[in-house]
């Protein structure tokens, strides 16, 4: 494990109804009080509908609220989209950019992800830039090629500060998880690419998260890897007790 402070994000995706959100927040706040000091920084990424509610509930806790996506424009005729300034005014301090489900389901290009990351910075939000390869790309030996391409486009407009999240597409929502050795190999590669761009010192302090069927049962082994600085958690974050157990496993 590195000396960098760990970071854990919980991505609710398109889940939870109003009463379930209330129950989650009650359970999470109660768990935070019992846990005391946390071994990691925490961000919750709710569905856009629940951002104001979550942000208000978490305002007096160590946890931050983030958005799952944003539009690259600051305002305009973009029906159904949300702009960075709107998200910031609703209580967000972070946003995901380029999650694999956005890339796959909405056809988001590498260039668009880069523009979204720049828009986040302009709105005072910190982007968590997601990169990752599909199963076919890994089998073809193209993992590093794909990551290098995604990373170069995402950072083309120099969105500082930013955090990276490596999410192997083949492990998201499938129950499959990259082995600690596989995850470490990719995280080390990403840190080397960051060193090429930012310099060794800046790359050494940059947090790179792992996302891909993370659970309390496997978090400690993954967290022990030198270049893994935390986790972007999907389905497991819908259970506040399991989410808190994952956070605790970072210690």
What is the distance between the alpha carbons of residues 151 and 158, in angstroms, rounded to a whole number? 11
What three-state secondary structure class fits 234?
coil
Strand partners, 67: 95
Strand partners, 42: 8, 63
14 CB neighbour count, 10 Å cutoff: 9
167 assigned to active site: yes
What is the distance between the alpha carbons of residues 13 and 130, in angstroms, rounded to a whole number? 14
Angle at 127 between CA 161 and CA 135, to 5 degrees: 120
Q: Is 90 exposed, middle or buried (0-12, 13-18, 19+ CB in 10 A)?
A: middle
CB-based contacts of 166: which residues, under 8 Å, 6+ apart?
130, 131, 132, 147, 183, 186, 187, 190, 208, 209, 210, 211
What is the distance between the alpha carbons of residues 206 and 210, in angstroms, rounded to a whole number? 13
Which one of the listed residues 71, 99, 108, 187 is annotated catalytic? 99
Asked if residue 48 lies in contact with residue 82, where contact means CB atoms within 8 angstroms, the answer is yes
Closest CA to 132 of 207, 68, 208: 208
Residues labelled catalytic: 99, 167
């Amino acid at each position: 494990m590195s000396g960098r402070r760990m970071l854990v994000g919980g991505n609710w995706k398109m889940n939870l109804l109003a009463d379930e959100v209330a129950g989650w927040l009650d359970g999470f706040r109660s768990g935070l009080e019992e846990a005391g000091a946390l071994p990691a920084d925490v961000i919750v990424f709710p569905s856009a509908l629940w951002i104001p509610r979550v942000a208000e509930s978490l305002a007096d806790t160590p946890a931050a609220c983030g958005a799952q996506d944003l539009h690259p424009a600051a305002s305009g005729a973009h029906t159904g989209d949300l702009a960075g300034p709107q998200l910031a005014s609703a209580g967000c301090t972070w946003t995901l950019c380029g999650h694999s489900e956005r890339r796959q389901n909405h056809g988001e290009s590498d260039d668009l992800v880069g523009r979204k990351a720049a828009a986040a910075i302009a709105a005072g939000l910190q982007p968590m830039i997601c990169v990752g390869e599909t199963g076919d790309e890994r089998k073809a030996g193209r993992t590093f090629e794909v990551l290098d391409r995604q990373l170069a486009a995402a950072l083309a407009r120099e969105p500082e500060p930013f955090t990276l999240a490596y999410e192997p597409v083949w492990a998201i929502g499938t129950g499959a998880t990259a082995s600690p050795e596989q995850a470490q190999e990719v995280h080390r590669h990403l840190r080397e690419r960051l060193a090429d761009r930012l310099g060794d010192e800046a790359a050494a302090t940059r947090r790179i998260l792992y996302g891909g069927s993370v659970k309390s049962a496997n978090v400690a082994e993954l967290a022990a890897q030198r270049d893994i600085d935390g986790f972007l958690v999907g389905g497991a974050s819908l259970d506040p007790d399991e989410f808190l157990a994952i956070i605790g496993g970072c210690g």
